[in-house]
Amino acid sequence: MSFLKLKELLVGAFQRIDHTSHLKEKKEEDIVLGILKKHIPTIDAEVKHGAIIVYSHSPILSQKIRIRENIILADIQRTNPEIIIQRILFKGPRS
């Protein structure tokens, strides 16, 4: 009988559990939102399909983000080149 190292066993188990890449997507979302909150601390947003979706009707917040959009996207790309965010979208407040 062969013994597996615990580290190898856990990596294999997580790969089987995360066959839909949900954990990877959640980790990437946390990284992107952390960078976004560094630039604008009071923001309600989420990451879906290569876009940041901001939930707000505030024209001031929208203007702040539009002014800093290129800086934010460049910061995300510089920090984590494997994460691809193409745009920032605005929606109304969450219900």
Give the 3-state secondary structure percentages of the chain, helix then strand then coil, rounded to 5: 55, 15, 30
Classified as helix, coil or strand, 93 is: coil
pTM above the 0.85 mark?
A: no
Q: Predicted confidence band at 43 (pLDDT cuts at 50, 70, 90)? A: confident
CATH numbers and ranges of domains, the chain: 21-91 (3.30.300)
Q: Predicted confidence band at 1 (pLDDT cuts at 50, 70, 90)? A: very low
pLDDT digits (tens, 9 = 90+) for 49-83: 889 999 998 899 889 999 999 999 999 999 999 98
Integer Rg of the chain from CA: 18
Give residue 43's identity as a one-letter amino acid code: I
Q: Predicted confidence band at 32 (pLDDT cuts at 50, 70, 90)? A: very high
Give the whole-angstrom CA distance, residue 72 versus residue 66: 10
